[in-house]
Amino acid sequence: MKKGSNSVKIDGIDKKILRHLMKDARTPILEIARSIGISGAAIHQRLRKLESSGLLSGSKFVINPRVLGYSTLAYIGIYLDRAMSNPQAVKALEKVPEVLECHYTTGNWSILIKVLCRDNEHLMQLLNKKIQAIEGVSRTETFISLDQQIDRQISL
């Protein structure tokens, strides 16, 4: 199977393995092996295959930003003057550490971004001094996440 192919087939055992690792990337393979009744070597083989299929794009430690004093999460819809501004705007947004995601979107805005700030004050500074300062940005609409109830990956 070529890397990045979009016709990967996974069976029930693959799903079980992945479900374990999606919850905790450091789950020992041997522990998974014991829990699903297969040898560690077999799981190792399957993981190698899943990896080369491009389905596994890596693993991440998840840190809780709240503990570092970052508790304001928001989405910002951005209107750009000209479509031409897009690539430059994205380049500028990449340099803003508070920006976690950036999407070109259909609909009202040119761009939708997700930002993480310490508090509302920080968010206001971010909007006024950094986002609005980007060339091409004409207007923004901000949606603060008061509470996030769901946060998960694709279900297998």
Told to check if 103 binds its own copies by CB under 8 A, we report: yes
* Binding flags for its own copies, 14-43, as an x/- string (CB under 8 A): ----x--xxxxxx-----------------
Q: Which does 64 bind (CB under 5 to 8 A by kind): its own copies, DNA, none?
A: its own copies
List CB contacts of 15: < 8 A, sequence separation 6 or more.
Answer: 156
Buried b (16+ CB within 10 A) or exposed e, 95-119: eeebbeebeeeeeebbbbbbbbbbe
Backbone phi and psi for residue 93, each to the nearest 5 degrees, phi listed first: -65, -30
Please identify, using beta-carbon distances, which residue of 49 and 114 lies nearer to DNA. Answer: 49
Near its own copies by CB under 8 A: residue from 75, 79, 125, 140 = 75
Q: Which residues does 131 contact at the CB level (< 8 Å), separation at least 6?
A: 76, 78, 96, 137, 140
Q: Which does 152 bind (CB under 5 to 8 A by kind): DNA, its own copies, none?
A: its own copies
- Min separation Cβ 31 and DNA, Å: 5
Specify whether the CB–CB gap between 32 and 44 falls below 8 A: no
Does 13 sit near its own copies (CB under 8 A)?
no
Chain positions 47 to 106 lying near DNA, rule: CB under 7 A, are: 49
Site string for DNA, 7-46 (x = CB under 7 A): ------x--------------xxxx-----xxxxxx-xxx
Among the listed residues 70, 79, 122, 140, the single contact to its own copies using CB under 8 A? 70
Dihedral angle, C-alpha 142, 151, 103, 110, nearest 10 ° = -30
